[in-house]
Amino acid sequence: MDFFISNAYAQAAPGGADSLTSLLPLVLIFVVFYFLLIRPQSKRQKEHKELVAGLQTGDEVTTAGGLLGKVTEVKENFVKVEISANVVVTVQKHTVSTVMPKGTIKSV
């Protein structure tokens, strides 16, 4: 019965050049991820941080929930937004997604 089972022999260790070429695809994947995912996301985060820091009374904004209104008061972490006549809601600053051009509320 021995003649059906072949002997398993260890292979020689790969050379130094082979290990370098096996790492090359991994490095290329990391570079692609950096330029397509990591870098644009950090740029968006930086822009949003600047937008939130620059909020002023009178800005017309939209929130992440879709509310459109005018900023009436800016505090450290919260913003009061007037969404209709005499209707003011308090939202967290980071939920403000965009600052709209002046006159957007009147055109809607």
The pTM of the full predicted model, rounded to 2 decimals, is 0.69
Cβ neighbors of 81 (< 8 A, separation 6 or more) are: 61, 63, 67, 69, 70, 71, 72, 88, 89, 90, 91
Cβ neighbors of 39 (< 8 A, separation 6 or more) are: none
Walk me through the domains of the chain, giving residue ranges and CATH numbers.
54-107 (2.30.30)
* Residues 62 and 68: beta-carbon distance below 8 Å: yes
pLDDT in the model for residue 43: 96
- What's the pLDDT tens digit per position in 6-59? 777 777 665 556 777 888 999 999 999 999 999 999 999 999 999 999 999 999
